[in-house]
Chain A
């Protein structure tokens, strides 16, 4: 049964039929499509740099993020303090690195949580339908009808703010949009003929949900996850900016902005608010770029 002239047989091992068995072709195609998208690659590289810097913050940071030196307050960027100093004389670059840790941790961890909850509940609602669907979706409506910023503020004031509580709150509030999205995908996918076909060939319900429907809904889920990371980083910054998020002296991009919220600083030491502001902006934009790139890469119908 050997068949020597096969297209795309450039890598991987050959089986007894002489056919390329490398099962990573789909991943290969996806990677190629992703790398063709310049913005997505730019976003990905930028995010990798930020994430690496955040992880290596203790190694990279030239100063301790909380070491004050009131003699050197509000210094403009110079060779000793690359991004200047804040109003307590702390090194802005070091604080930015430690702030990235908090912001990214809150972003990733809470989105991981909310995506998991949302995907599970949305999948159940969409596939099972009926009364289960109605109950889950009405619950979603209730949560969505509460203005999230007020709820966030209320919860944060009840439970003393901290990284773990922020993650929990964002995860428990953020899953609703994912649930809606996933439910919608499941509703339209469950009547598709390939799902009916898998029923007629005797595939079990759980296999149908998780290996037939879910992979086809993965594109929108991943996109919404990347966008959600951006949103959570923004929301955390907003909360910290209001003084309700990460508490000083711990650094987060949001409370650095809040710290810079002073007319004199804004006018005379513009570099100080610029640094965390730019970081928030760039990070959120890059998450969006990567999300777009992933969506195109994950959809086999979109050609390279």
Chain B
């Protein structure tokens, strides 16, 4: 599909042909001897106010995509358009400015908070970085944020290790909210939490989304979590976006054989339902040396001759439902 059709004023974020490669160095002079193609030509867009879920098994490049968008990693190629502005190559002050609009919630709440800082300092740091606020206003604002994410105010003077995983993730969310960003990249925000706590944090995110008009890029590997959270869902496999669709369309009628296999693996809380689980053969190939053609063809139950030759582009099969597969 051509890029021009993606241009839409409603799009908060547009990713065009994004590539992020990790160079592999080796040999005596540490030359680049190969590239791990963590993200290989991915395009998608996120509309204002929606949640785009990004799923895929570990190592498929979903976290790398998120980290490239927030500019923790540099894109090898492609464009990241935020509100129509190319932020792919921003440096220095202009990059700092864009940081106010895009924030991140990290996966591991035990690693994402500085153990030597008080919660108040952690949450107020983004504000202190960008604004000159008096000590009292700052404190008011932080207390307000802490209340909003469901933490007691006395959390201000405590340290991260005094909190449980779920509470720590709330602190991380408060920090991400502090600058009133437009886009929040949530990189597996609940996968490190107990199941009982997961839903609380997910519902908090949904509630904050309404309250602050947030747009989410929600990265996860848990399909039921993604289903609960997302308006649209993108499925990644080996650095490629293989299918992207509205949530209901995706779950009701997955098109790509990989998505079909993933969705068939969701456990159903119904013992009478006969499960027809599609079991994939083989392992995920190395992104250092991905297969030719469609990256999924060595494991695909429906692979055809051309699949090993030509990589299919994402094409719109149904309204709003795009898939990269030669079957369609």
Interface residues of A (CB under 8 A from B): 1, 3, 6-7, 15-17, 19-21, 25-26, 192-194, 196-204, 212, 215-216, 300-301
Contacts and interface: CB of A to CB of B under 8 A. Distances in A.
Interface in B103-142: 103-104, 106-108, 111-118, 125-126, 129-130, 136, 139
Interface in B287-308: none
A202 B112 contact: no
B204 to A, nearest CB: 18
Given A19-B156, A200-B72, A300-B161, A193 B107 contact: yes
Nearest to B152: A3
B157 A212 contact: no
B143 A1 contact: yes
Main SS class of interface, A:
loop
A19 B130 CA distance: 26
Contacts of B172: 197
B154 A7 contact: yes
B10 interface: no
Given A25-B157, A203-B125, A300-B161, A192 B139 contact: no
Given A15-B139, A202-B130, A203-B129, A197 B154 contact: no
Contacts of A7: 154
Given A20-B157, A203-B125, A194 B179 contact: no
B113 A202 contact: no
B307 to A, nearest CB: 37
Contacts of B104: 196-197, 200
Contacts of A300: 115-116, 159, 161
B157 A196 contact: no
Nearest to A192: B111
A200 to B, nearest CB: 5
B175 interface: yes
B8 interface: no
A194 B72 CA distance: 13
A171 B48 CA distance: 59
Number of contact residues on B: which range applies?
35 or more
Contacts of A200: 70, 72, 99, 102-104
Given A300-B159, A300-B161, A201 B179 contact: yes
Interface of B: 67, 70, 72, 96, 99-100, 102-104, 106-108, 111-118, 125-126, 129-130, 136, 139, 143, 152-154, 156-157, 159, 161, 172, 175, 178-179
Given A17-B139, A19-B154, A200-B70, A301 B115 contact: yes
B142 to A, nearest CB: 10
B115 A216 contact: yes
Contacts of A20: 157
A102 to B, nearest CB: 37
A186 to B, nearest CB: 14
Given A17-B153, A19-B153, A25-B157, A201 B178 contact: yes
B106 A212 contact: no
Contacts of B153: 1, 3, 17, 19
A286 B129 CA distance: 43
B115 A193 contact: no
Contacts of A194: 111-115
A197 B107 CA distance: 11
B112 A193 contact: yes
B96 A202 contact: yes
A3 B67 CA distance: 39
Given A17-B143, A196-B106, A301-B161, 6 more contacts: A19-B157, A192-B111, A201-B125, A201-B175, A202-B100, A216-B116
A128 to B, nearest CB: 16
A215 B117 CA distance: 9
Contact of A202 (B106, B107, B129, B161): B129
A194 B117 CA distance: 11
A6 B96 contact: no
A60 to B, nearest CB: 41
A201 B114 contact: no
